[in-house]
Structure 1
Amino acid sequence: MFILQPPVYLDDNNFYHKKKKFFRRFDKRAHNHGPTYDLRLIILRHAERVDLVLGESWYDYVFGGVPSAPPQSYLHPLLPQALPQRLNTLLYVFDPPITRLGESKSYTRGQELSRLGVSSIDHCYSSPACRSVLTASAVLDGISRNPVPIRLEPYLFEPLSWNQPLQMLDTVSPFMSTREWMMAGYNIDRNYQRLNNYLNPMETEVDFYMRSQYVFQSIERRHGGVAPPIGRASKRARHSTVLIVGHAATPLIFQHIALQQPFNSEVFGQQCGTIPFLHTVVLERNAINRMWYMRPIMSFV
């Protein structure tokens, strides 16, 4: 048993007895208003999709229905300023990009996060979908943390059973590879080992919950740090901030997992239909008790 002797007295000025320097030092640490978390997750849905602005015929309108469209096609005012050029533009039908306005709003969201106190991003994970990668890149630029490489993780993609056009491709992946993104000038982590490249086209919402839980636990193991000891040898917790960009289901499913909320597949699907573009959820893990809680986006400290 750890016994403090002599006893500590608290005077009217909220200071410990003058001769007990150790207790005054401990009290100063206890009232330090520094971060209490050791792991912070900033989770976003991607920005506005071009196909939802122009409709199903957007590909013909932008690329003229030509798989090998000329470079000038990529200069369309509705497309992002640095949309990667692909040998087969038809794949963009199955993997649509965001709009230029969506790219601008993503950059602004990054600036907002920076103003609210997000001074740095230590790691970034993104769904391999074009709309998510472009959003992640613009958000990082807005935070002025573009040197942080983006890790492409297929397990962050939306429930595949919700995406019927993508199921038509069978074994053909519509997503750009790490090499293709890098050749287009994007900062992608070439050394990241993906959790899995296979997505079950027949998975249910419960299956999606399970693979999302696998991603969540993987990120927690990689970047969770170690809880600080208590007492004289107490040290500051190591803080990590991770940016995660996915789809409408991503912020919601991570919230369910972290807060251990009950999961109802039918209700979950309905809720995902109400998630707006760039919807942001911030989750933080307490450095002492390792419990997760949600941080209001306007109250970063």
Structure 2
Amino acid sequence: MQNSKSLQKSIQISKQDEVNVNPKMLRSFWPRCARSSRLTAKTAIIMRSAERVDRVFGSSWLNTERSEDAYNATDLNVPTDLLPPSLFSYNPPITNIGKYSSQVVGRALQNRGLAAKTILCSPTLRSIQTASAIAKVMNIKISIEPGLLEPLEWYRKAGSVELPNFSLETLIMYPIERNYKPIHSMEDLKKQYGTAKQADCVSRIQMTLQSLCGASNESAVVIVAHALTMEIASQMGTFGDRLHSSNADEENDEEYTSYEVPDYKVHEDCPAQKLELGVKYPPGSTLGLARCNHSPPYVFRLIDDALAPLTTTKFSTRVIL
């Protein structure tokens, strides 16, 4: 009988020790980005497409992954499943890390109360793959907007005699909304390919952004495109439309929250303003725009702390002997 009591006591102590050794994990808490659903519906998150394969492994990456007629990934960051190589001409895919980091962004959007009903993206493969990774987290579809495509002149200067193959027919594995009516059609871009200047395309991107961010929505809007898209969005939010600033509603600055602790001091990195767009807006980076008025011309406010950044170290697990 005494042994039974001792055993019972030892079991109780063991359970208590187990609680002490394995306490409950702490989970971070982020407040909602906007304090009301009305403000959330006026919010747009602009994101640069995720890390692309050619920027990590070089422009000839596909040649190094081929062995006669087979495709063999030589690095774990190279996608194991690839579309036909003909689609990669001036249109590279994203890396595995790019895919996973995009899913992390998707979860962050949900944590901040910015889950979207749809995601709009540029027709480039890297934008579609980035948007699809986010859409998978939210269980929604993506809509392709050719008006977000970077300047056509950039492709011409890179040596492409025609617009890269952005056909959606070979992208059936991605959750693309086929009934979406774009602001600019792909046919329009093909007709403009030989003559459109950079300034023309910048105007096109700005007009497209204003239309997408100014539309009436039930939830936040997520737009995945390029570094230039983010620069244009940043200028829209920073400077607004000064000629029509009187049309902007007076919104309380406290209606939007930061992901950071309120009294945490953030040191601005001023030299970053002087760097090229690709460095200023890293792959997978985000910023927010809040629409301030209800009718065009729309005025937007920049939300540069809508989501926390994703920070990693630049490294490889390759052993150096």
Instruction: Tell me whether the two structures share a fold, i.e. TM-score over 0.5.
Output: yes
Asked if the contact 2:120/2:143 (under 8 Å) is kept, the reply is yes
Asked if the contact 1:167/1:201 (under 8 Å) is kept, the reply is no
Please give the residue correspondences for 1:140-219 in structure 2 after superposition, counting only pairs within 5 Å: 140-141=135-136, 144-146=137-139, 148-164=140-156, 167-170=159-162, 173-175=164-166, 177-182=167-172, 185-194=173-182, 195-197=184-186, 198=189, 199-219=192-212
Question: Matches of 1:208 and 1:257 in 2, distance apart?
Answer: 16
Query: What secondary structure does 1:122 align onto?
Result: strand
Asked if the contact 1:47/1:277 (under 8 Å) is kept, the reply is yes
Amino acid at match of 2:59: E
Structure 1 residues 39 and 165 mapped into 2: Cα distance closer, same or farther (>3 Å)?
same
Asked if the contact 1:42/1:280 (under 8 Å) is kept, the reply is yes
For residue 116 of structure 1, report the CA deviation from its aligned partner.
2.4
Asked if the contact 1:106/1:138 (under 8 Å) is kept, the reply is yes
Asked if the contact 2:151/2:198 (under 8 Å) is kept, the reply is yes
TM-score when scaled to structure 2?
0.63
User: Deviation string for 1:121-154 (max 9, x for gaps)?
Assistant: 122111111111111111222xx313x2211122
TM-score when scaled to structure 1?
0.67
Query: What secondary structure does 2:222 align onto?
Result: strand
- Is 1:293 the equivalent of 2:296? no
Where does structure 2 lack aligned partners over 5 or more consecutive residues? 1-34, 242-272, 309-321
Question: Matches of 1:59 and 1:79 in 2, distance apart?
Answer: 10
Structure 1 residues 186 and 82 mapped into 2: Cα distance closer, same or farther (>3 Å)?
farther
- Is 1:105 the equivalent of 2:101? yes
Question: Matches of 1:298 and 1:73 in 2, distance apart?
Answer: 36
Structure 1 counterpart of 2:52, from 49, 52, 58: 49
For residue 167 of structure 1, report the CA deviation from its aligned partner.
4.7
For residue 278 of structure 1, report the CA deviation from its aligned partner.
0.8
Structure 1 residues 63 and 252 mapped into 2: Cα distance closer, same or farther (>3 Å)?
same
For residue 160 of structure 1, report the CA deviation from its aligned partner.
2.1
Question: Matches of 1:60 and 1:214 in 2, distance apart?
Answer: 39
Structure 2 counterpart of 1:275, from 277, 281, 289: 281
Query: What secondary structure does 1:276 align onto?
Result: coil
Structure 1 residues 257 and 134 mapped into 2: Cα distance closer, same or farther (>3 Å)?
same
Amino acid at match of 1:281: L
Question: How many residues matched?
Answer: 235
User: Deviation string for 1:175-214 (max 9, x for gaps)?
Assistant: 2x223211xx211011122322115355334212210123
Report the more deviating stretch, 281-290 or 243-252. 281-290
Structure 1 residues 81 and 202 mapped into 2: Cα distance closer, same or farther (>3 Å)?
same
Could you tell me the percent identity over the aligned residues?
Answer: 28
Query: What secondary structure does 2:211 align onto?
Result: helix
- Is 1:138 the equivalent of 2:95? no
Asked if the contact 1:94/1:165 (under 8 Å) is kept, the reply is no
Where does structure 1 lack aligned partners over 5 or more consecutive residues? 1-32, 226-238
Asked if the contact 1:43/1:244 (under 8 Å) is kept, the reply is yes
User: Deviation string for 1:6-37 (max 9, x for gaps)?
Assistant: xxxxxxxxxxxxxxxxxxxxxxxxxxx52452
Asked if the contact 2:120/2:145 (under 8 Å) is kept, the reply is yes
Structure 1 residues 151 and 206 mapped into 2: Cα distance closer, same or farther (>3 Å)?
same
2:28 aligned partner: none
Structure 1 residues 126 and 73 mapped into 2: Cα distance closer, same or farther (>3 Å)?
farther
Amino acid at match of 1:153: E
Structure 1 residues 165 and 138 mapped into 2: Cα distance closer, same or farther (>3 Å)?
farther
Asked if the contact 2:108/2:307 (under 8 Å) is kept, the reply is no
Structure 1 residues 98 and 271 mapped into 2: Cα distance closer, same or farther (>3 Å)?
closer
RMSD of equivalent CA atoms: 3.1
1:39 aligned partner: 42
